[in-house]
Structure 1
Amino acid sequence: MALIYSATTSLDGFMAGPGGDMSWLTEHLGGEDEVADRVLARTGALLVGRVTFDGDDPNAGTAAEGAFGGEYDGPAVVLTHRPPADPVAGVEFVTDLTTAVARARELAGDRDVNVLGADVAMQCLEAGLLDEILVLVAPVLLGEGTRMFPRRPGGRVRLEPLPGETAHWYRIVS
């Protein structure tokens, strides 16, 4: 079971436009995507940052709302310093990274944990907890917004392509 950060990004490295706008992604969603289907089939739990959890879903109000275009139906752990007062069905709110990752792994069982959100993914990378990175590149330049990697990880991070996978699916090796 791996901790995977998978994200669709613009060619210039932005996951969201200004103000967290995800509407740009709508025209790039839908249709068959074998890589996304494989990731979804392997995913047993989500580890989500609070900004992403509260964020703009390009499919809001449609049958495709939610993770993986509404196809994901499973547990989620949200890493946050601001847990809500009222519970949310199928979602656990955790205030520290180590506990959040451990809980997500536990919920995932023998399947993968998929990380959603640039900041929580960066925290996992910096803590040495992230195993893989999958980048899906949309043919668009956004120019500004939320970067896939919001800051430098504090040193070089070596990656190696995963054999038999897309050209942008990597194992973290250091």
Structure 2
Amino acid sequence: MAKMLYAATMSLDGFIAGPGGDMSWLKPYFGPNPEMDGLVHRIGALLVGRRTHEGDDPNRGTENEGAFGGTWNGPTFVLTHRPPADPVPGVTFVDDLERAVAAAREAAGDRYVNILGADVARSCLDAGQLDEILVCVAPVLLGEGTRLFERPGGDNVPLERIHLSHGQLATNIWTRVLPR
């Protein structure tokens, strides 16, 4: 069965997006990173939040537009209570977390479901549906924006490091979510 993976690039001070969802800060940190570059081939489906799905793509308007620098081609499930009026090719809109996770896992088969979006990742964690987290830490301080995880009043979440690696421009930390 597919594992649920939250993979994101984060600033050293804990942000995955800048103010207003700005993702342009990522551009200087695109570069050779074997861990992240090889990840797309291990993913069978994406589970994405609506804000992320409609958000700022630092590669918008280029051949690299889209998830994983435009290399993603597979089923995408967007968790939202406001699906668009017109269908989007290759995208399934789901209004319930449990159904979205089940559909994404089924579509992914024995590969990962990659979660995109901090709110969806937090919801999966809170529901006991998050298996692993891969964070690519970029050497930059953003100061504000969207945090990797924000759980006001939340409890500690124990993690076990699976793997640590270094890309040319960032450090990757792959962890497993341990039972609480």
TM-score by length of 1: 0.95
Gap runs ≥5 in structure 1: none
> Percent identity over the alignment?
63
* Cα distance in 2, alignment partners of residues 15 and 32 from structure 1: 19
1:158 aligns with 2:158: yes
* Cα distance in 1, alignment partners of residues 115 and 39 from structure 2: 11
* SS of the residue 1:65 aligns to: coil
Gap runs ≥5 in structure 2: 166-171
The residue number in structure 1 matching 2:132 is: 132
Q: CA deviation at 1:118?
A: 0.3
The residue number in structure 1 matching 2:23 is: 22
1:171 aligns with 2:171: no
The residue number in structure 1 matching 2:54 is: 54
Asked if the contact 1:22/1:56 (under 8 Å) is kept, the reply is yes
1:75 aligns with 2:75: yes
The residue number in structure 2 matching 1:88 is: 88
* Cα distance in 2, alignment partners of residues 131 and 107 from structure 1: 17
TM-score by length of 2: 0.92
Asked if the contact 1:42/1:111 (under 8 Å) is kept, the reply is yes
- What value does the CA root-mean-square deviation take over the aligned residues? 1.2
Q: CA deviation at 1:14?
A: 0.6
Between stretches 50-59 and 32-41, larger displacement belongs to: 32-41
Aligned length: 172
Inter-CA distance 153–111: structure 2 relative to 1 (3 Å threshold)? farther
